[in-house]
Structure 1
């Protein structure tokens, strides 16, 4: 087959593959410094279902266990439910990682870590996540997750003053 024909087929084939390929992972990281000691901050956020006590978007959190892993079912103040599974935990390093099992957020393949680290006489809280946009443009998914992290970190800072 002549090279010109092969080149002519290559671009449409690449376009077809690009349209069916999974999206690239998106990453969001938000941090905040607080004057409270890491142990105090961890006592606020370390309980996996404790998010219901400090995040402004959560009406309540119901804990459960599935397959030996902690789950939390979050009832949102604006309506809707998110189910999340804790996938890793390190109390000594004051961090846990979780994944979304189901919910209304415009993301898939979501994994997130919430952690506390010492900084001077206070702490740095870091909330980081990796996910793919689902049913929405990347910017919408990134803004949604970033907003959740920012409002949660601000609430933690206010609660641990």
Structure 2
């Protein structure tokens, strides 16, 4: 099993950042390469459409509003992995009430690619996504 984690500090309080990203259907609000998110199954499944029209289906596995965190699994996607589980969380930055640390992590089993290649793919997705979040917050 492979895994990767990326994080970024955002110049907004954690509650405000969580308000933006904490909804399971909220990716289009801050992630430009996911312009559509359609919820089903009582809000536990999201069908994402990327800029190229590709579809990714993810299932919410855990949600903790108080801890500002949710975890999800991929049910359908064009990625070379199985057993994908990811967590998106927002934390306070000690000594900085005006800042939040957003962490995006995932674990998965590569299929047809090396652990390093799969880790590089998802690390890039997380890093690019967090950079887009920072840009959205600053806009």
Q: State the TM-score, normalizing by the size of structure 1.
A: 0.80
Which whole-Å deviations, capped at 9, do the CAs of 1:24-51 have from their partners, x for residues lacking one?
Answer: x111000001110001100110110101
* 1:61 CA displacement: 0.7
1:86 and 1:99 in contact (8 A); partners too: yes
Q: Does 1:62 align with 2:35?
A: no
Q: Which sections of structure 1, spanning at least 5 residues, go unmatched?
A: 1-24
- The residue that corresponds to 1:150 in the other structure is 127
Equivalenced residues, count: 135
Please tell me the root mean square deviation across aligned C-alpha atoms, in Å. 1.3
* 1:143 CA displacement: 1.4
* 1:69 CA displacement: 6.4
1:95 and 1:115 in contact (8 A); partners too: yes
Q: Does 1:77 align with 2:51?
A: yes
Higher helix share: 1
Q: Does 1:106 align with 2:80?
A: yes
Q: Does 1:43 align with 2:11?
A: no
Post-superposition, which runs of at least 4 consecutive aligned residues in structure 1 deviate over 4 A? none
Distance 2:61 2:71 in 1: 6
Q: State the TM-score, normalizing by the size of structure 2.
A: 0.91
* 1:157 CA displacement: 1.4
Give SS of 2:52's match: coil
Distance 2:32 2:111 in 1: 24
- The residue that corresponds to 1:10 in the other structure is none
